[in-house]
Amino acid sequence: MKPNHIRLHRACVAAAAAGLLIGPAAAGSAAHGAATAPAVSAPTPSPTTPAPDADFPRLTPAVAARLDAAVRQVMRETQVPGVTVGLWAPGKGSYVRTFGVADEATRAPMTTDLHVRIGSETKTFTVTTLLQLVDQKRIGLDDPIGTYVKGVPNGDRITLRQLAGMRSGLFNYSLDGDFIKKLQADPQQSFTPQRLLDYAFEHPVQFPPGARFDYSNTNLILLGLVVEKVTGRPLHEVITEKVLAPAGLRHTVFPTTAALPDPYAHGYTDQTASGKVEDSTHWNPSWAWAAGAMISDLQDLRSWARTLATGRLLTPATQAERLKTTPMDLPGDGYGLGIFNVQGWIGHNGSIPGYEVLPVYLPQAQATMVILLNTDDRYENQEPSTLFGQAVTAIVTPDHVYPGHKALAPGTG
């Protein structure tokens, strides 16, 4: 899929199962730790009755043993340093396990309380903030971006809806060769939103607005600037006050420096100037900004996956607009407004050099799945978070296997 991370040479979304990323990633030992088309309107997820066992199994010791074996098998194949997997469904119990190490230098194990960078999952927060402004009637989804940001190619034709739905046609700045070289040469440097747009606008538009789906981090930089323009405040302050606080997310932050809150997992990536795996934990995420700079942890992502899918912070009408999807890469998959529906799982994936996350919600079962990794290094051209998601859902939701039933082409995310 495309939507997942923000790899340097890819974008940030989780389109059909490959992954939309924001940046680089790394391999490590596989030691395992112990448990601790046209737009389509998706049905609004219901927060009510628990699903029968046909929709989601009881998470018994026997099922947990199968999940343990499946996760360890993927770890052996991918050599991911550490992974955390969480599953929850009303009346079915829970499965929360950590495997491997959070720090390859000290061999400290992964634990369930660690902060990680969440890459393109950030897009869900940026777009939620934008949609709140729609609910307040301060902006309209079909307003042209040129109303708010000057100098955008096709700015009089590209709408906010098309930006949020990845149908603008604007070139993805994180695919620009000069940008990649500059970032890899000095991952500690800071980028302004305008500099990121400069990289994008040096390239011609890819297609007319609305013509097709194409995952581009440039779209989210523009939407972040719209939020700042309309509110008169920095994006990180608006998201903190209007989304994180009312959602009760106390361990999620939009950073303005390279620091992570304690405790945190170290991240490893091969998206480096040398091509060798490096510790990217303290790389400056300013280059990802509204598209992928945020940080969170397991329990906050569990809560957010449900809040996002059910639209708790938006009006029902605006949430319905958000959930209208257009096709991505695989039958049964679609992208809405900063959100995807992949084989019934609603949410977004995320990747940035050193980290990947997959927090999604299955409305039929009211089930939540969250997967956290401390690498973004691909295995046989697949995002590791996608492989873990596939292994887990093949066991618990065989009718809704994430992300689908065949390997994808490389994402841009």
Tens digit of each residue's pLDDT (9 = 90 or more) over 182-237? 999 999 999 999 999 999 999 999 999 999 999 999 999 999 999 999 999 999 99
Distance CA 267, CA 289 (A): 18
Secondary structure of residue 34 in the 3-state scheme: coil
What pTM value is reported for the model? Answer: 0.89
Q: Which residues pair with 269 in a beta bridge?
A: 278
How many Å is the Cα radius of gyration of the chain? 19
Q: Percent of the chain, pLDDT > 70?
A: 85
Could you tell me the pLDDT band of residue 49, with boundaries at 50, 70 and 90? low
pLDDT score, position 6: 55
Token reading at 68: 């343990």
Average pLDDT over the chain reads 88
Angle at the Cα of 223 (from 137 to 210), degrees rounded to 5? 90
Burial of 394 (0-12, 13-18, 19+ CB in 10 A): middle
Angle at the Cα of 14 (from 324 to 413), degrees rounded to 5? 120
Could you tell me the pLDDT band of residue 5, with boundaries at 50, 70 and 90? very low
Q: Around Cβ 334, how many Cβ atoms within 10 Å?
A: 24
The answer to whether the beta carbons of residues 270 and 300 sit under 8 Å apart is no
Query: For the CA atoms of 405, 14, 57, 54, what is the dihedral angle to 10 degrees?
Result: -60
Distance CA 22, CA 18 (A): 13
Distance CA 80, CA 103 (A): 12
Q: What DSSP designation does 254 have?
A: -
Using the structure block, give the residue that is written with the tokens 């495997």: 99
Distance CA 181, CA 35 (A): 40
Could you tell me the pLDDT band of residue 52, with boundaries at 50, 70 and 90? low
Distance CA 301, CA 84 (A): 12
